[in-house]
């Protein structure tokens, strides 16, 4: 159904468009003033083809602005038309829905304009008395299509002429004006309005702009001669015209004022191209003419008028007093084709001198001089002609004159200005040298106490100023300066000596080659994983910081920031972990552990001693291997002594020492007296003394073979006083040496019979442990000091 209706609608339009009145949107492409409104309507007369369309009605029309539907509050609808109110620019279209399709019935484009802006800043120029052009400011909000009309009222002594000119730009030109004064008015007009400027009165003499002059240049020795002439201006005599002369050579540009006629330019550099141009203006006018075409000439060389600039740079003397001197000069350019430079070095101490020759391409040389005073001169030679010599003095070591004072540098107007105060001594001129860290040293001569350098940003300049009086330079004054500072260079950071509550942070100073500004301070930032960030700021001379009051066993992020006037630079991030315990705690723990170990060892040793004393089984002395150490004099005395010896006669001291037991144990058989007396007899005093004073009771029969004297043999029997034999050796036993390890028996104590005949007996059960003592078992032997006792008795 909708397709059928849509097709019928277009058929009706095609068939009826020629026979009926036209339906459409009106007005077409209107222009309105900004802030105003306009009504756009769709007209459909009774006999128009729109009325023939099925379902057409003005109430069904839809209005859109830039494809966006306009609210129906702005619609105006009656039986014959539909309109809408618009207040902005754009494309307005009228639509109607036929079924599911949107059909555009018509449209129009609305333009919103501002009223023209009042022209201001009107000024005019009179070009060479031929054309008069006026300029004005049309404003920033001027829309395209604005037209300007300039009205000029030209007044002279004889007549008044009114003229106008049209323009769509910001200037307009009148031709052949002849007047003394002129009144100018500018009118601006567009589709939504018009406006006129104020009246401006202009004096022709103040706005006259002349044509550029014609210039000629003639080179002479050490100067250029310049001539020029102007186009004839009847109203202005040449005496009322001023000119400006501009000349350039290498990278230097200078200018000077001059009157019409001629001028001279003194050439500062020889063998270079000079470029000359001029401009002129009447004294009463504020407009200069354009610059004349450039005229280029080559400056010739006069050897006798050549001026050479000579300078030196002296290094610190070495241990032998020799100095390296860098000699530099500024002579003539290679284009001058000179023969070369003649350098003379004269020792003022002994008048010795030497001459050096350099070609035209050389500009410096290095000399090694001792600590004496020298004078160096240089001259230019060409075609057997020589320029005047230029001298410089190398003072002796320790004879330098005072330096300049208050040397400082600061950037201003794209240049680096250097100023200083003169020293107390008189000065002829100053030598200023500068470098940017490389081997190239630039320098020039200054007659005042200030100079300016063309600075480069982020470059560190080393500037030196030396006063010079009568070829004698003073001491150097040096400073470091930046034309423009930037952020410092990279920083290398190390974190060491990390403890539980502190850490040591160190960094390397920013190298001069990487530094773009003077470092003012360093800030060390550190932050734990959970805590806030802290910072410690130190001046530029400090390169280490101890971080205090850290938390044990925590991770910290540490970095260092360097600050300058031009910015900041941060180092890489360092992550550290503090220790759980500090070194002091570990040291104290080690000391206490050492004391504890010593205490444990001491207690263990005490326990072992006490156990050996109170709990170890001590063997009975009666089972020990005993030896009676008797020398022959004492033995003889004992044999002649008929009285019964006391115990102290034989045993003065009884000592027990560790000793290995003999492999066999001997028993001493009872003496005949003991056998006769029976078991109830008192024991011998000797053994009684052993019982009471030293050890447990020892049986008299248990005397080991060690008691046998070293000089006694087993085959010899001791003789009594009356010659009777106190005892004899059994017939079955062979005599043997008493030093043998086999037990031997003898009559040890003589005639009193304390010890009788001995016999070998098998070891008893009680003696068995002493024969084969176990390993590491404490053992003892008994020593009886009989010699000392016998001496006393």
Among 76-80, 447-451, 788-792, the minimum mean pLDDT is found in: 788-792
Mean pLDDT of the chain: 75
Q: What is the pLDDT of residue 582?
A: 66
Q: How confident is the model at residue 369 (pLDDT cuts 50, 70, 90)?
A: very high
The segment with the largest mean pLDDT, out of 256-265, 407-416, 628-637, 682-691, is: 407-416
Query: Looking at the predicted structure, is the pLDDT value of residue 192 above 70?
Result: yes
Query: Looking at the predicted structure, is the pLDDT value of residue 469 above 70?
Result: yes
For residues 453-469, give the mean pLDDT: 89
Which residue is associated with the tokens 């902005």?
88
For residues 644-664, give the mean pLDDT: 42
Among 289-293, 313-317, 654-658, the minimum mean pLDDT is found in: 654-658
| Percent of the chain's residues with pLDDT above 90 | 23
Report pTM. Answer: 0.44
Q: Of residues 2 and 217, which shows the higher confidence score?
A: 217
Environment class of 303 (CB within 10 Å of its CB; exposed 0-12, middle 13-18, buried 19+): buried
Core vs surface per residue 532-542: b (16+ CB within 10 A) or e? eeeebeeebee
Q: Of residues 658 and 67, which shows the higher confidence score?
A: 67
Structural tokens at position 192: 């939504």
Query: Looking at the predicted structure, is the pLDDT value of residue 762 above 60?
Result: no
Q: How confident is the model at residue 538 (pLDDT cuts 50, 70, 90)?
A: very high
Q: What is the pLDDT of residue 734?
A: 42
Edge-to-edge strands, sheet with 252-259: 252-259, 241-249, 273-282, 295-298
Q: What is the pLDDT of residue 525?
A: 94
Q: Are 506 and 529 in contact (CB under 8 A)?
A: no
How far apart (Å, rounded) are the C-alpha atoms in residues 253 and 419?
24
Q: What is the pLDDT of residue 277?
A: 94
Q: How confident is the model at residue 70 (pLDDT cuts 50, 70, 90)?
A: confident
* DSSP assignment of 610-660: HHHHHTS-PPPGGGS-------HHHHHHHHH--SPPPHHHH-S-EEEE--P
How far apart (Å, rounded) are the C-alpha atoms in residues 782 and 692?
15
Q: What is the pLDDT of residue 47?
A: 67
Among 16-30, 696-710, 762-776, the minimum mean pLDDT is found in: 696-710
Structural tokens at position 649: 């006669």
Instruction: For residue 186, count other CB atoms closer than 10 A to its CB.
Output: 27
Q: What is the pLDDT of residue 335?
A: 82
Contacts 24+ apart (CB under 8 A), 33-37: 33/112, 33/113, 33/114, 33/115, 33/192, 33/193, 34/112, 34/113, 34/114, 34/192, 36/87, 37/85, 37/86, 37/87
* DSSP assignment of 199-213: -EEEEGGGSEEPPPP
Q: What is the pLDDT of residue 629?
A: 44
Question: What tens digit of pLDDT does each residue of 178-188 get?
Answer: 788 999 999 99
Q: How confident is the model at residue 51 (pLDDT cuts 50, 70, 90)?
A: low
Query: Looking at the predicted structure, is the pLDDT value of residue 323 above 90?
Result: yes
Query: Looking at the predicted structure, is the pLDDT value of residue 572 above 60?
Result: yes
Q: What is the pLDDT of residue 665?
A: 38
For residues 764-775, give the mean pLDDT: 48
Q: Of residues 698 and 417, which shows the higher confidence score?
A: 417
Question: What tens digit of pLDDT does each residue of 625-642 get?
Answer: 544 444 444 444 444 444
Structural tokens at position 681: 């007899």
Q: What is the pLDDT of residue 709?
A: 41
For residues 564-573, give the mean pLDDT: 88
Which residue is associated with the tokens 């003589």?
750
Q: Of residues 783 and 498, which shows the higher confidence score?
A: 498
Structural tokens at position 553: 């066993």
Query: Looking at the predicted structure, is the pLDDT value of residue 148 above 80?
Result: yes
Question: What tens digit of pLDDT does each residue of 13-25 get?
Answer: 443 344 445 778 8
- Give the angle 645-646-650 at the CA atoms, nearest 5°: 80
Q: What is the pLDDT of residue 113?
A: 79
CA dihedral 558, 564, 567, 570 (to 10 degrees): -20
For residues 659-672, give the mean pLDDT: 41
Query: Looking at the predicted structure, is the pLDDT value of residue 117 above 60?
Result: yes
Q: Are 628 and 790 in contact (CB under 8 A)?
A: no
Q: What is the pLDDT of residue 384?
A: 83
Instruction: For residue 50, count other CB atoms closer than 10 A to its CB.
Output: 25
Query: Looking at the predicted structure, is the pLDDT value of residue 74 above 90?
Result: no
Question: What tens digit of pLDDT does each residue of 379-431 get?
Answer: 998 888 888 899 999 999 888 889 999 999 988 888 899 999 999 888 999 99
Query: Looking at the predicted structure, is the pLDDT value of residue 689 above 60?
Result: no
Question: What tens digit of pLDDT does each residue of 493-518 get?
Answer: 999 988 888 899 999 877 766 678 88
For residues 580-607, give the mean pLDDT: 81
Query: Looking at the predicted structure, is the pLDDT value of residue 309 above 70?
Result: yes
Contacts of 165 (CB under 8 A, 6+ apart): 149, 150, 152, 172, 173, 174
How far apart (Å, rounded) are the C-alpha atoms in residues 13 and 467?
102
For residues 585-606, give the mean pLDDT: 83
Question: What tens digit of pLDDT does each residue of 235-252 get?
Answer: 667 778 889 999 998 888
Q: What is the pLDDT of residue 513?
A: 65
């Amino acid at each position: 159904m909708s397709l059928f209706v849509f097709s019928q609608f277009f058929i009706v339009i095609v068939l009826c468009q020629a026979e009926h009145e036209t339906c459409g949107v009106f007005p077409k492409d209107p222009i309105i003033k900004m802030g105003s409104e306009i009504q756009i309507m769709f007209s459909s007369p009774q006999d128009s083809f729109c009325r023939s369309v099925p379902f057409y009605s003005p109430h069904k029309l839809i209005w859109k602005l830039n494809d966006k539907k306009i609210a129906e509050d702005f619609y105006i609808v009656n039986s014959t038309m539909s309109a809408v109110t618009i207040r902005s620019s754009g494309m307005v279209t009228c639509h109607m829905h036929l079924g599911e399709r949107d059909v555009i019935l018509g449209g129009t484009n609305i333009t919103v304009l501002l009223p023209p802006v009042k022209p201001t800043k009107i000024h005019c120029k009179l070009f060479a008395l031929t054309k008069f052009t006026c300029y004005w400011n049309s404003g920033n909000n001027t829309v395209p299509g604005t037209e300007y009309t300039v009205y000029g009222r030209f007044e002279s002594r004889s007549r008044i002429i009114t003229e106008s000119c049209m323009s769509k730009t910001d200037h307009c030109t009148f031709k052949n004006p002849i007047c003394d004064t002129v009144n100018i008015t500018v009118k601006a007009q567009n589709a939504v309005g018009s406006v006129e400027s104020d009246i401006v009165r202009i004096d022709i003499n103040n706005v006259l702009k002349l044509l550029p002059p014609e210039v000629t240049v003639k080179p002479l020795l050490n100067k250029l001669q310049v001539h020029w002439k102007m186009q004839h201006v009847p109203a202005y005599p040449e005496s009322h015209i001023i000119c400006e002369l501009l000349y350039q050579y290498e990278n230097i540009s200078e200018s000077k004022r001059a009157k019409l006629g001629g001028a001279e330019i003194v050439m500062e550099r020889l063998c270079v191209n000079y470029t000359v141009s001029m401009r002129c203006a009447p004294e009463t006018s504020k407009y200069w003419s354009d610059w004349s075409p450039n005229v280029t000439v080559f400056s010739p060389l006069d050897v006798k008028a050549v001026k050479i600039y000579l300078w030196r740079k002296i290094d610190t003397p070495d241990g032998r007093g020799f100095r390296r001197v860098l000699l530099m000069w500024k002579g003539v350019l290679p284009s001058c084709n000179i023969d070369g430079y003649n350098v003379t070095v004269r020792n003022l101490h002994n008048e010795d001198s030497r001459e050096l020759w350099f070609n035209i391409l050389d500009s410096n040389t290095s000399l090694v001089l001792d600590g004496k005073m020298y004078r160096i001169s240089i001259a230019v030679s060409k075609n057997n002609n020589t320029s005047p010599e230029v001298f410089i003095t190398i003072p002796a070591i320790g004879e330098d004159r005072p330096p300049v004072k208050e040397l400082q540098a600061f950037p201003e107007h794209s240049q680096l200005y250097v100023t200083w105060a003169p020293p107390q001594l008189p000065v002829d001129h100053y030598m200023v040298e500068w470098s940017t860290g490389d081997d190239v040293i630039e320098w020039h001569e200054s007659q005042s106490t200030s100079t300016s350098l063309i600075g480069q940003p982020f470059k560190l300049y080393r500037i030196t100023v030396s006063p010079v009086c009568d070829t004698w330079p003073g001491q150097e004054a040096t400073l470091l300066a930046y034309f423009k500072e930037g952020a410092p260079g990279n920083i290398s950071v190390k974190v060491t000596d990390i403890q539980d509550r502190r850490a040591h942070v160190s960094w390397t100073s920013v190298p001069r080659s990487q530094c773009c500004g003077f470092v003012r301070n360093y800030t060390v930032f550190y932050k734990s994983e959970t805590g806030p960030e802290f910072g410690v700021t130190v001046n530029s001379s400090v390169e280490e910081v101890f971080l205090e009051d850290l938390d044990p066993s925590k991770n910290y992020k540490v970095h260092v920031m360097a600050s300058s006037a031009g910015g900041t630079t941060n180092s890489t991030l360092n992550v550290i972990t503090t220790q759980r315990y500090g070194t002091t705690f570990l040291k104290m723990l080690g000391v206490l552990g050492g004391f504890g170990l010593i205490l444990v060892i001491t207690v263990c040793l005490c326990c072992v001693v006490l156990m050996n004393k109170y709990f170890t089984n001590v063997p009975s002395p009666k089972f020990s291997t005993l030896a009676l150490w008797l020398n022959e004099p004492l033995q003889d005395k004992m044999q002649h002594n008929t009285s019964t010896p006391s115990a102290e006669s034989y045993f003065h001291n009884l000592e027990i020492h560790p000793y290995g037991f003999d492999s066999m144990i001997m028993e001493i058989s009872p003496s005949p007296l003991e056998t006769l007396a029976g078991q109830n007899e008192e024991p011998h005093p000797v053994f009684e003394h052993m019982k009471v004073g030293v050890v447990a009771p020892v049986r008299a029969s248990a005397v080991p073979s060690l008691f046998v004297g070293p000089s006694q043999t087993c085959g010899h029997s001791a003789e009594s006083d009356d010659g009777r034999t106190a005892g004899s050796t059994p017939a079955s036993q062979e005599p043997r040496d008493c030093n043998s390890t086999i037990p031997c028996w003898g009559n040890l104590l003589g005639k009193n019979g304390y010890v009788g005949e001995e016999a070998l007996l098998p070891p008893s059960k009680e003696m068995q442990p002493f024969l084969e003592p176990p390993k590491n078992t404490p053992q003892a032997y008994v020593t009886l000091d009989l010699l000392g006792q016998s001496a006393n008795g």
